[in-house]
A and B are shown apart, each in its own frame.
Chain A
Amino acid sequence: MMGLASYLIISLILFVVGLVIILSRKNIVAILLGIELVLNAAALNFVAYSRYVTNNLDGHVFSLFIIAIAAAESAIGLAIVIRFFQIKETIHIDEATQLRN
């Protein structure tokens, strides 16, 4: 039951769900949530390959860097969301039209 394939399938499901959230939601916080799911799917793949294929710990280190970068990205993204809400009074993605024309 446990093997490389099962981890890859779980990771694929996470990636696809994150992609669907990014593409279909209209709420900026929900889009950031989808990005977190996609990053986690990638990190899970790194650790699974590290155990079943390469047998060293470089995948773990890369996964830690992914976690750090996701935390930084999330902080910046949510700061932008709060700033956008201060300006536009909404976080609907269709209201972000300042750069149009």
Chain B
Amino acid sequence: MFIELLFLTSALLTVGSAIGAAVTRNIMHSCVFLLGSLLGIAGLYATLGADFVAVSQIMVYVGGVVILMLFAVMLTGGKDFVSRAQNLLGLAPAMGNKWTYTIGLLTALVVVLTNVKLITNVVKAYPAKVIGNDFPSTVNQIGHLLVKEHVLAFELSSVLLLGALVGAAIIARPRRQG
């Protein structure tokens, strides 16, 4: 019962916040909606029994990426903080114009139609199994997997993170005077 409640809450939070992030006019509100969506995804991970991934999601995204985005918005906000672009019929959200939203919605339609067909095939291929609600801790097994089978990817991701850190510091350094 608790699991179903958590699933329902997380799903509504995820989908509602994602749609809110797509339709709001203010980029700051959009970032806060992204925060809600990422928290909802962490809840969905929890209902899937992925405790380590859920905690990593909260730590990395909510503690890192969203804060970084809010910093970027505040550092670059200036005059286009709130979009005043002409919107579609006075109803649709701004920050793009009606052509970009039309193209986006057409692409969304194509992607949805393709994916619904794929999902029905997948659901037919894997009929609903009854899976118990016992969630053993995954931390031990993930640790073993990371240093045994996936050790090359693990080390490469550490190099990637170091490169990203140095690269971001170099790219965003203050402009030279003169």
Contacts and interface: CB of A to CB of B under 8 A. Distances in A.
Interface of A: 1-10, 12-27, 29-30, 32-33, 36-37, 40, 43-44, 47-48, 50-53, 57-58, 60-61, 63-65, 67-76, 78-83, 85-86, 89-92
Given A19-B104, A78-B72, A40 B171 contact: no
B108 A20 contact: yes
Contacts of A27: 27, 80, 83, 95
Interface in B11-46: 11, 14-15, 18-19, 21-22, 27, 30-31, 34, 37-38, 41, 44-45
A80 B68 CA distance: 13
A61 B104 contact: no
A79 to B, nearest CB: 4
Contacts, number: 224
- A-side interface mostly: helix
Interface of B: 3-4, 7-8, 11, 14-15, 18-19, 21-22, 27, 30-31, 34, 37-38, 41, 44-45, 47-50, 52-53, 56-57, 60-61, 64-65, 68-69, 71-73, 75-76, 78-80, 83, 85, 95-97, 100-101, 103-105, 107-108, 111-112, 115-116, 119, 122-123, 126, 128-129, 131, 138, 141-142, 145-146, 149-150, 153, 157, 160-161, 163-165, 167-169, 171-172, 175
